[in-house]
Amino acid sequence: MSRYEEAKKIYSRIGIDTDKAIETLKNIPISIHCWQGDDVIGFDTKGSLTGGIQTTGNYPGKARTPEELMADIDKAFSLIPGKHKLNLHANYAIFEDGEFVDRDKIEPKHFKKWVEFAKERGLGLDFNPTFFSHPKASSFTLSSPDEEIRKFWVNHAIACIRISEYFATELNQPCVMNIWIPDGYKDIPADRISPRARFKKSLDEILDIDYDKEKVLVCLESKVFGIGMESYTVGSAEFCLSYAASKGIMPLMDNGHYHPTEVVSDKISSLLLFNKNLALHVTRPVRWDSDHVILLDDETKEICKEIVRCDDISRIKIATDYFDASINRVAAWIIGVRNLQKALLFGLLQPNNLLSNLQLKGELTELMMLQEEIKTYPMGDIWEEFCKQNNVIATEEWFNEIKTYEKEILSKRA
């Protein structure tokens, strides 16, 4: 009997069908962020990263061109099981033949190469307006008191909705378009409501345009603070959740965008009761929103258990969002996404009905016992079978391919 068959038998003791768990995991797409490969720089400006976010490290081999980034994405995806989506930021527009337009004028044609890339690989695309790393984002964007700057960013977001429609039409699947702004103050503001009123006005203007709401799933992401805006962010959790609920768009929770004592895993069930869909950015904050590579840690597993317990997993749009320049960037993609998939598998291998019934009946001692015993069940054997069925290396041997890729490709990007 194979190790998988043995593990399958063990899980059957608690009512888990491991074949069904594997099949379900195959059909959970993760929207994998493009910006791990080049430290969030993109191709439309030559400046440094701004907006209260920061990439640390200087590991050699950063992608410098669209072609290099696409090659790195290909290598990463080849070592990640399953079929996923690619998540783009607007600053990854590709201009050809000397053309350049500012962000308020970008068009679908500036992302044609990304659509071709996605079509050839059977991928979907998600999208994000880029409200940072731009001369007009030096202080405020959608909440700017300067009407010219505010309108510039409104027009940028509208352009991004049109590009998202283009993605959805060309790739025959909805495009999640996420709005996040870095606006805020370093110190205690004298007026908290006016910037939020301007932000609301901007969002109203953006969403007032006629667009296909089946094709473009607009979501709004909050943040507790950023570098240089430690005391006040315009797009707080309360603002973003309230606005999303009032407009019927998706709230997006990034698990690095909350106070250190808050956990997103506890928020998911509440939001699912009041929202048709929910979007997540999965990352790993260390002391602050530091966007570390995802580990198979307790909170990631708790988030994924809540995803799996949802009545319809497709209601939750899962994306990754981290950027580490201190290690091999391609390996960072693979480590993080594979850990997220392992956490999802861990959730799928929980006997949720049994556990919830024990809770309902007040059998809390047995509930604790079973929750702890499951932690040492042979999930690794199920993971290996999942990878085998997806023709991807299951064990740490995948890293040999990265070492070869670094030697032959990345090391030559001097």
What 8-state DSSP symbol labels residue 357?
H
Active site residue 109: no
Active site residue 291: yes
Please report, rounded to a whole number, the percentage of residues in the chain having pLDDT higher than 70: 98
* Mean pLDDT over the full length of the chain: 94
Q: Which residue in 44, 291, 324, 384 is the catalytic one?
A: 291
Active site residue 110: no
Band the pLDDT of 43: cuts 50, 70, 90: confident
Active site residue 44: no
Active site residue 281: yes
Q: Which residue in 126, 221, 306, 385 is the catalytic one?
A: 221
Stretch 283-299: mean pLDDT: 93
Stretch 271-282: mean pLDDT: 96
pLDDT digits (tens, 9 = 90+) for 67-76: 999 999 999 9
CATH topology of domain 29-348: TIM Barrel (3.20.20)
pLDDT, position 54: 67
pLDDT tops 80 at residue 353: yes
Q: Is 257 strand, coil or helix?
A: coil
Q: Which residue in 321, 381, 384, 385 is the catalytic one?
A: 321
Q: Is 51 strand, coil or helix?
A: coil
Q: Which residue in 257, 292, 305, 342 is the catalytic one?
A: 257
pLDDT tops 80 at residue 50: no
Q: Which residue in 180, 333, 383, 398 is the catalytic one?
A: 180
d(CA 278, CA 176): 11
Return the H-helix or E-strand segment holding 37.
none
What 8-state DSSP symbol labels residue 53?
-
For the chain, domain boundaries: 29-348
Stretch 343-365: mean pLDDT: 97
Band the pLDDT of 111: cuts 50, 70, 90: very high
Stretch 213-234: mean pLDDT: 92
Active site residue 333: no
Q: Which residue in 33, 62, 281, 292 is the catalytic one?
A: 281
d(CA 132, CA 91): 9
Active site residue 257: yes
Active site residue 289: yes
pLDDT tops 70 at residue 37: yes
- Residues 148, 197, 225, 263: what is their CA dihedral angle, to the nearest 10 degrees? -140
Q: Which residue in 170, 254, 384, 385 is the catalytic one?
A: 254
pLDDT tops 70 at residue 102: yes
Active site residue 112: no
pLDDT digits (tens, 9 = 90+) for 233-255: 999 999 999 999 999 999 999 99
Q: Which residue in 39, 289, 302, 385 is the catalytic one?
A: 289
pLDDT tops 80 at residue 1: no
pTM, full prediction: 0.94
